[in-house]
A and B are shown apart, each in its own frame.
Chain A
């Protein structure tokens, strides 16, 4: 009896175990099917319907204004006719590119775009770092605030207004710079026909407009430096210049490198706003001031040469894309945190 009872007890417990196992098995298959459902595309479409609805306007906008024009690059290989539009115009092979490269314009505008950008990057970086470092040394709060505000002023105005200001300074007859040159007994310069001075003029105006904006980023980098490092250095007897060159600047380097690389990513992009407003449609200066963007614009608007303009545009987009990929690779070698994607 006893044994029997024991047996039945064991049987019972086994039964319980078995049923528990069965139950858990059933649960497992249940969760499995549920998980399958959760991973399904349609399930997620329903689950995320509010998110997707909220994204919809921006998605449509980007699709229409960014992605559809990307498809339009095929125009670079077509002979555009107004009747045919993008899709029904006849193919033109590589003739648009041939024309663009053989005219010698491709080489000229590429060279100009790259050299101007290198000049801008070098000059702006040096100027903005100098301003940021020196601004942190200014102890008078009012001076600091006011001078920073004034440096920010040019950032807020349009390039159209800058062009009037430039005329005010550079005009042959009434310009301030020529008045000064005349007073000093020199010979007046006609800036608007002298190509060689434009790299300087454009660099200075670019720096003028960007100094307040650009220095803020370097200021933020300096603010992030631990002040105890400075205290330790001053106890060790470092003078103020050593402090700047041995601590501030080395510790700013990550920011400097990142901003430099980002700027290099856009090296094939000309600042159309700046070039077009300051130089204008001034044929005398093309050799010195024509960049890819101004050429593309002129080919489209003035000459109605859709094919060549599209070819130049595609050429620029591809160069930009390749440089950004290269730069991103460089950034990832330098620091994984700063990669763009």
Chain B
């Protein structure tokens, strides 16, 4: 009788612990997820709000005084935005394809046990993550000795090859059964043929992962454009946004400092705050739409990379 009661009370205690934990799990994760989401909603809602509403109420969760004014301003000269889009899209596609090819080929050679020098060459690549020349020598190399200032190559080359991606790719290839490669070689395939016909088709998840890493780096790059690209027509999307946002701020400051009459001010006025937000939405767009589909591959890639990064 006593024993039964004890067991029962234990059961209750256990389940209350479990309930508390499960509540905490849902609650804390829910809150963190909300914190991750809300800033995006605010940017979108501000982009649809009228400038007056923002000035009066500040930014908020839902659009007050709904208007498309900011978007019409952004697309007043559609070519400016579309050109930036074009630069980024072309760079991302070419960079991803070339980078994937280069990294797969290198990783393939470095993973072949037959190749006795592979460890020496691996270290040759790996050493660059330990020590680097830093910003100034790279800058001088790019601008002075390679003459890449104001050239699309200055946006293309710096992101083409990364040792981290190489290591991820290598550990994927090492995971393939060696007998497959041997079989291909017995059938008379050369090394390059084996890579293209046998290894690459088996590497789809790795290609997706590393390809996404490269694509994201190209898509989000603004730094190389800031360093090397002066011509506005050549700016990629992110740097275009960076420039526009800073220009809008500067423009606002000029209007405020000149103390122009209120009539002239309203004539010159343009939706500065909502315009910034609309630009941000336009620039963010495709990545946000794409990411639920590609996230799966990122998770795979990170997990592999974590084993040996």
Q: Which residues of A contact B (CB under 8 A)?
A: 44, 48, 50-51, 54-55, 57-59, 61-62, 64-73, 75, 85-86, 127, 130-131, 134-135, 137-140, 143, 146-147, 149-161, 163-165, 167-169, 171, 173-176, 178-179, 208, 211-213, 216-217, 220, 237, 239-241, 244, 255, 259, 262, 272-273, 277, 293, 296-297, 300-301, 306, 309-310, 313-314, 316-317, 320-321, 324, 338, 340-341
Contacts and interface: CB of A to CB of B under 8 A. Distances in A.
A309 B135 CA distance: 8
Contacts of A154: 36
B140 A314 contact: no
A48 B118 CA distance: 11
Contacts of B133: 66, 68-73, 313, 317
Contacts of B105: 54-55, 57-58
B127 to A, nearest CB: 8
B233 interface: no
Given A48-B115, A272-B223, A161 B28 contact: no
13 contacts: A51-B112, A51-B115, A62-B161, A134-B25, A149-B292, A160-B222, A164-B276, A167-B276, A168-B42, A239-B18, A309-B136, A320-B130, A341-B126
Interface stretch (B70-78, B79-87, B263-271, B294-302): B294-302
A161 B281 CA distance: 9
B11 to A, nearest CB: 11
A131 B34 CA distance: 13
Given A169-B59, A212-B36, 11 more contacts: A54-B108, A58-B102, A68-B137, A153-B40, A158-B219, A158-B222, A164-B43, A164-B245, A174-B55, A174-B273, A317-B132
B58 interface: yes
B232 interface: no
Contacts, number: 278
B220 A158 contact: yes
Contacts of B40: 153, 165
B144 A220 contact: no
A64 B145 CA distance: 11
B39 A165 contact: yes
Given A161-B241, A165-B39, A168-B59, A320 B121 contact: no
B60 interface: yes
DSSP majority for the B interface?
Answer: helix
A306 B145 CA distance: 16
Given A156-B291, A208-B35, A174 B115 contact: no
Give chain B's interface residue range (CB within 8 Å of chain A). Answer: 35 or more
Nearest to A218: B306
Interface string B43-81: 100100000001101111000000000000000000000
B281 to A, nearest CB: 9
Interface in B276-299: 276-277, 280, 283-284, 287-288, 291-292, 295, 298-299
Contact of B130 (A131, A160, A161, A321): A321
Contacts of B166: 58
Contact of B223 (A244, A273, A338): A273
Contacts of A65: 138, 141, 157-158, 161
A322 to B, nearest CB: 10
Interface string B151-193: 0000001101100001000000000000000000000001110
A139 B30 CA distance: 14
A10 B219 CA distance: 86
Residue from the set B133, B140, B284 with the largest chain A CB neighbour count within 10 Å:
B133
Contact of B124 (A62, A73, A127, A297): A62
B117 interface: yes
A50 B114 CA distance: 12
Given A62-B128, A137-B21, A239-B14, A150 B36 contact: yes
Contacts of B43: 164-165, 168
Contact of A239 (B17, B108, B136): B17
A34 to B, nearest CB: 17
Residue from the set A51, A134, A212 with the largest chain B CB neighbour count within 10 Å:
A51
Residue from the set B14, B39, B106 with the largest chain A CB neighbour count within 10 Å:
B39
B46 A300 contact: no
Contacts of A340: 126
B109 A175 contact: no
A75 B140 contact: yes
B197 interface: no
A69 B36 contact: no
Interface string B179-218: 0000000000011100100000000000000000000100
A50 B161 contact: no
B242 interface: yes
Contacts of B247: none
A240 B17 contact: yes
B306 A57 contact: no
Contacts of B276: 164, 167
Given A255-B306, A300-B139, A161 B59 contact: no
B1 interface: no
A158 B241 CA distance: 11
Contact of A240 (B18, B37, B160, B284): B18
Nearest to A183: B58
Contact of B190 (A50, A244, A338): A50
Nearest to B157: A65
A69 B138 contact: yes
